[in-house]
Amino acid sequence: VISKTENPRIKLPVKTADGTFIANYSEKGLAGLQFPEDKASREPDETEKSSAKVQGWHRLTVSAVEQTLAGKATRKLPPLDLDSGTDFQRQVWSALQKIEAGKTRSYLEIAKLIGNPRAVRAVGGACGANPIPVLIPCHRVLAANHKIGGFSGGLDWKRTLLAREGVKLR
DNA sequence: CCACGGTGGTAGA
DNA sequence: TCTACCACCGTGG
């Protein structure tokens, strides 16, 4: 029996003034980003094991995270591995990437953009399943009438990110 | 403010 | 398959 293909992930720390995020990489690119956890729960230190390719990606990740946390537009992203998502989720995530820093869209607007205007609630679900928050800017999706809506990483993060981009909430 | 109905996608059983 | 969730949205108290 042929064993299922292993899907090795390399985890690297993204140290910022707001805490240490954890990026994880597949062979295709950045596949996940976790918000800082409360305690200094074992930061990955496999830096020396990662290939030059991954280290290059990681440099792009670090600067992109820093820029987004500062409320600025990101210049360049590493390749993103979004294979974990369904077709619907990838459509939503793709639409999210087109929202510029400082701008917002509603869940309904995203649903319309992907040609499925009644799938409003499902759009919320896809945002919650976003494996790369901050860089795939799901925090820029608000409920109708500029209400905050939800955020899987905690509403404090969503408010912080939006405030740094100069977005006002209702 | 709250309740509710109409919705579509997902995961799990 | 069926079903129970849901980061929604409008309407109506």
Instruction: Say whether the CB atom of A124 is under 7 angstroms from strand C.
Output: yes
Per-residue pLDDT reduced to its tens digit, A146-162 = 999 999 999 999 999 99
Is residue A113 over pLDDT 90? yes
CA dihedral A79, A148, A120, A82 (to 10 degrees): 10
DSSP state of A101: T
Instruction: Say whether the CB atom of A118 is under 7 angstroms from strand B.
Output: yes
- A73 or A8, higher pLDDT: A73
If residue A55 lies in a helix (H) or strand (E), which one and from where to where? Answer: helix A52-69
Per the CB < 8 A criterion, the answer to whether A25 and A57 are in contact is yes
Per the CB < 8 A criterion, the answer to whether A25 and A54 are in contact is yes
Question: What Å value separates CA A122 and C1' B7?
Answer: 9
CA angle (A154, A158, A163) in 5-degree steps: 145
**Which pLDDT score is estimated for A47?**
59
Distance between CA atoms of residues A160 and A142, nearest Å: 14
If residue A133 lies in a helix (H) or strand (E), which one and from where to where? Answer: none
**Which pLDDT score is estimated for A4?**
46
List the structure tokens of A18. Answer: 């707001």
Q: What average pLDDT does the segment A97-125 reach?
A: 98
Distance between CA atoms of residues A87 and A107, nearest Å: 18
Q: Give the residue among A149, A151, A89, A154 at the shortest CA–CA distance from A119.
A: A89
**Which pLDDT score is estimated for A49?**
78
Is residue A48 over pLDDT 60? no
List the structure tokens of A169. Answer: 């909430």
Instruction: Say whether the CB atom of A122 is under 7 angstroms from strand B.
Output: yes
Distances in whole angstroms, Cα of residue A84 to Cα of each of A11, A28, A88, A118, A119: 17, 12, 12, 24, 20
**Which pLDDT score is estimated for A80?**
98
Q: How many residues does chain A have?
A: 170
- A48 or A153, higher pLDDT: A153
**Which pLDDT score is estimated for A40?**
57
Percent of chain A residues topping a pLDDT of 70: 90
Nucleotide nearest to A129 (CA to C1'): C7
**Which pLDDT score is estimated for A125?**
98
Nucleotide nearest to A151 (CA to C1'): C7
Is residue A1 over pLDDT 70? no
Question: What Å value separates CA A49 and C1' C4?
Answer: 44
Per the CB < 8 A criterion, the answer to whether A76 and A25 are in contact is no
Q: What average pLDDT does the segment A42-66 reach?
A: 86
CB-contacted nucleotides of strand B (7 Å): 6-11
Q: What average pLDDT does the segment A112-127 reach?
A: 98
Closest alpha carbon to C1' of C9, residue: A144
Is residue A102 over pLDDT 70? yes
